[in-house]
Amino acid sequence: MTRITVKVDGTNYTDEVEPRTLLVHYLREQVGKTGTVVGCDTSNCGACTVHLDGVSVKSCNVLAVQVDGGEVTTIEGLAQNGELHPMQQAFHECHALQCGYCTPGMIMQSIDLLNNNPHPSEQEIRNGLEGNLCRCTGYHNIVKAVQQAAGGAK
């Protein structure tokens, strides 16, 4: 076992993990952040997307030991003082979810997308989300939500 210290959603955790433990399993099973979900385990679907030191990563594609000393933000760390993050609010208002399984990863990836490109075109949004699959195929409203969060369609 290896000891790691990680800040997750603003709280420091020190835990023993096996070297093979994936970040997504560490987050769900040891930290209790079950808002981050597993859709494939083969880095295809993006459902497990979180931010590591401010950048989106697929947490099934990162080992827990690799985040030692780092800072992780999950979907559960976005709302502040009872207020949804603007991207969460936009997904809500645009009905950008159906079953909701892809939603945590979509939102985390969408925030990263706007961090890198605050005013993306529709095509840039579609390109930026290409690593996130929605099995309900709700892409149209997801793109609208990102456009709304960015301050309007372009």
Q: CB-wise, 12 or 105, nearer to ligand FES?
A: 105
Q: How many Cα atoms are found within 13 Å in the side-chain-facing hemisphere of 93?
A: 13
Nearest approach in angstroms of CB 109 to ligand FES is: 11
Residue 29 phi, psi dihedral angles, 5° rounding: -95, -30
Whether the Cβ atoms of residue 46 and residue 111 lie closer than 8 Å to each other? no
Provide the 10 A C-beta neighbour count for residue 66: 13
Cα–Cα distance for residue pair 142/106, rounded to 1 Å: 8
Rounded to the nearest whole angstrom, what is the least distance from the CB of residue 27 to ligand FES in the complex?
11
Q: How far is the CB of 81 from ligand FES (least distance, A)?
A: 27
User: Closer to ligand FES at the Cβ: 38 or 65?
Assistant: 38
Task: Give the whole-angstrom CA distance, residue 101 versus residue 84.
Answer: 18
CB of 94 to ligand FES, least distance (A): 12
Of residues 8 and 58, the one with the C-beta less far from ligand FES:
58
Under the rule (CB under 6 A), what is the footprint of ligand FES?
38-41, 43-48, 58, 60, 97-102, 134-136, 138
Give the residue with the Cβ less far from ligand FES, 140 or 154. 140
